[in-house]
Amino acid sequence: MATAKKEVSFEWEPKNGWESLTKREEKKLEKYCSEYMEFLSKAKTERLAYDESVKLASQYGYVPIGDKKKLKAGDKVYVGSGGKTIMLVRIGNRPLSDGLRIIGGHTDAPRLDSKPIPIYEEGGVVLLDTNYYGGIRKYHWVSSTLAIHGVVVKQDGSKIAISIGEDLSDPIFTITDLLPHLAKKQSKEPLESAIKGEGLNVLLGSRPVAGKDGDKKKSIKKNILNILNDKYGITEEDFVSAELEVVPAGPARELGLDRSMIAGYGHDDRVCAYAGLRAALDIEEIPEYTSVVLMCDKEEIGSEGSTGMNSYFFENTIAEIMSLENSKCSNLDVRRCLSRSKMLSADVCCLHDPNYPEVSSPNGNMARINHGCVVVKYTGARGKSGASDASAEFVGEIRRIFNEADVCWQVGLLGKVDEGGGGTIAKFMARYGMDVIDCGVGLFGMHSTVEVAGKLDIYMTYKGYKAFFESK
Ligand code: MN
Ligand code: MN
């Protein structure tokens, strides 16, 4: 009797994760994705993402660092910066000087910011003048429904939160587009310049009303300022110290007849930042190494500013944490801790899009939807310029952790060589000499007003992050 020959293959081809997903895991996936959709729908700005994260972390026993005089294994604390960037720390069994396990994503997303003097009247309407933030394609922002979120800070320091356009009973806003009948000239302009940055003015109102206190002259702008004063107690000068962000209105939604995807604004990078947060919250046992979650601001404009990862916030906070663990901790101990750390730079990657195959890297080097968490060895542009470029050794270690934990994963690149490029916070963290690799969810329509992510990839990224935190 002949025995069946066992097939051996040395080929590797990532599989569609739905094909081998168990019923039990499918249930977990759906639960995780519905909770993420709720988060994404609320966290429309970095400030709102911060608030939601604090709420969630508090439920899991995280407390502000100021509440602790000393830190020991198992303790859970968070540190904020400017109400925008947050760092959550869970002290592990090993001393901090052995290094950290860090997952860092960002919660800012491309949008339109109000200018310091934003409200003006022209041609029978009142508009909000904006400056776009991050890499947008301007034509996405005309003819869409918009909401406004942010804060106005009065000169006495009081802060007024503004949020208009999400509730179905709220008014919404829009930026008008040119009618096709009169767009003959504009239609021939390159996509890049057809809609101008200075053309992104948001329609706020159109009804003239008499001013207050006997001022008989009717004005649309006066009416808008009256409404704002009645509702929020603010005046025109207060907009100088305001941060108002114009974003797509409405919640994240399931996408597709099979409901296998999620459409929403700001997946980049709330999808990875949330996965890092949830992974940290869901670790049951005290981890071997101290786990750190970073949900940071300003990534989309190069990580500048005091709340960006190009600041000393991270380093200063680690020094604080270490001095609470060991009051004799030296500057050298902090440097050792940083250089011995390992990090997943939790950011999104692009997917192979059958609508635009011409920009894809060939030979299976593009991430595909539903093929799992995307591991990106390098980003950058041209000859890897600006890339952090993870070492082969660290990529090997991540492969082992993901495979041992049964995480569906794949590799990805930011498109074809010489087609374009981009970067993440990875390089700012690599400065300390730690191992860092980009790793996250693949998207269709990155930086658009309707970004799309596959549920399987969203869940597997969370699963991979959790395995990283739990690794020995
Ligand atoms: Mn990003
Ligand atoms: Mn981005």
Burial letters for 61-81: b for 16+ Cβ neighbours within 10 Å, e otherwise? Answer: ebeebeeeeebeeebbbbbbb
**4 has pLDDT over 80:** no
Instruction: Quickly count: other Cβ atoms within 10 Å of residue 2's Cβ.
Output: 4
Distance 268 CA to ligand 2 centre (A): 5
Q: What is the pLDDT of residue 403?
A: 97
CA distance 426 to 76: 25
**227 has pLDDT over 70:** yes
User: Which residue intervals of the chain bear CATH 3.40.630.10?
Assistant: 17-109+265-470
Distance 52 CA to ligand 2 centre (A): 21
Distance 191 CA to ligand 1 centre (A): 23
Q: How confident is the model at residue 412 (pLDDT cuts 50, 70, 90)?
A: very high
Distance 109 CA to ligand 2 centre (A): 7
Q: How confident is the model at residue 2 (pLDDT cuts 50, 70, 90)?
A: low
pLDDT tens-digit profile of 97-117? 999 999 999 999 999 999 999
Q: What is the pLDDT of residue 177?
A: 97
pLDDT tens-digit profile of 240-291? 999 999 999 999 999 999 999 999 999 999 999 999 999 999 999 999 999 9
User: Mean pLDDT, to the nearest integer, of 136-154?
Assistant: 98
- With beta carbons less than 8 A apart as the criterion, state whether 81 and 313 touch: yes
**3 has pLDDT over 70:** no
Distance 268 CA to ligand 1 centre (A): 5
State both tokens at 383.
């000859």
Ligand nearest to the CA of 349: 1
Please give the span between the terminal C-alpha atoms of the chain, in angstroms, as a whole number. Answer: 47
pTM: 0.96
Distance 273 CA to ligand 1 centre (A): 10
Q: What is the pLDDT of residue 7?
A: 75
**1 has pLDDT over 60:** no
CA distance 247 to 234: 22
Return the bridge partners of 262, or none.
254, 453
Query: What is the share, in percent, of the chain residues with pLDDT greater than 90?
Result: 93
**221 has pLDDT over 90:** yes
User: Mean pLDDT, to the nearest integer, of 460-466?
Assistant: 98
Distance 422 CA to ligand 1 centre (A): 9
Distance 210 CA to ligand 2 centre (A): 45
Distance 20 CA to ligand 1 centre (A): 29
Closest by CA to 226, choosing from 211, 215, 237, 216, is: 211
Element (H, E) at 264: strand 261-264
- In one letter, which amino acid is 19? E
Distance 349 CA to ligand 2 centre (A): 9
The alpha carbon of residue 319 and the mean position of all alpha carbons in its chain are separated, in whole angstroms, by 26
From the options 2.30.30.280, 3.50.50.60, 1.20.120.550, 3.40.630.10, give the CATH code of 17-109+265-470. 3.40.630.10
Closest by CA to 422, choosing from 443, 450, 393, 401, is: 443
Domain boundaries 111-248, corresponding CATH code:
2.30.250.10
State both tokens at 25.
């895991």
Distance 40 CA to ligand 2 centre (A): 15
Q: How confident is the model at residue 215 (pLDDT cuts 50, 70, 90)?
A: confident
- With beta carbons less than 8 A apart as the criterion, state whether 237 and 162 touch: no
Distance 110 CA to ligand 1 centre (A): 10
User: Mean pLDDT, to the nearest integer, of 326-344?
Assistant: 95
Burial letters for 322-361: b for 16+ Cβ neighbours within 10 Å, e otherwise? Answer: bbbbeeebeeebbbbbbebbbbbbbbbbbbbbeeeeeebb
State both tokens at 33.
């994705």
**166 has pLDDT over 60:** yes
User: Mean pLDDT, to the nearest integer, of 326-348?
Assistant: 96
**222 has pLDDT over 70:** yes
User: Mean pLDDT, to the nearest integer, of 157-185?
Assistant: 97
Query: What is the share, in percent, of the chain residues with pLDDT greater than 70?
Result: 98
Q: What sections of 214-357 are H helices per DSSP? A: 220-232, 267-282, 313-325, 331-339
Distance 134 CA to ligand 1 centre (A): 10
CA distance 44 to 55: 15
Q: What is the pLDDT of residue 213?
A: 67
Q: What is the pLDDT of residue 443?
A: 98
Ligand nearest to the CA of 271: 1
Residue 189 has φ and ψ, to the nearest 5°, of -75, 150
**418 has pLDDT over 80:** yes
Structure-model confidence comparison of residues 240 and 6, the more confident one? 240
User: Which residue intervals of the chain bear CATH 2.30.250.10?
Assistant: 111-248
Q: What is the pLDDT of residue 451?
A: 98
Distance 112 CA to ligand 1 centre (A): 17
Distance 407 CA to ligand 1 centre (A): 22
Closest by CA to 326, choosing from 97, 98, 78, is: 97
pLDDT tens-digit profile of 351-398? 999 999 999 999 999 999 999 999 999 998 999 998 889 999 999 999
- With beta carbons less than 8 A apart as the criterion, state whether 334 and 315 touch: yes
pLDDT tens-digit profile of 29-88? 999 999 999 999 999 999 999 999 999 999 999 999 999 999 999 999 999 999 999 999
| 146-153/159-164 β-pairing | antiparallel
147: which residues sit within 8 A by CB, 6+ positions away? 44, 163, 164, 165, 166, 170, 172, 173, 246, 247, 248, 249, 250
Distance 267 CA to ligand 1 centre (A): 9
Q: What is the pLDDT of residue 210?
A: 78
Structure-model confidence comparison of residues 3 and 31, the more confident one? 31
* Mean predicted lDDT score pLDDT of the chain: 96
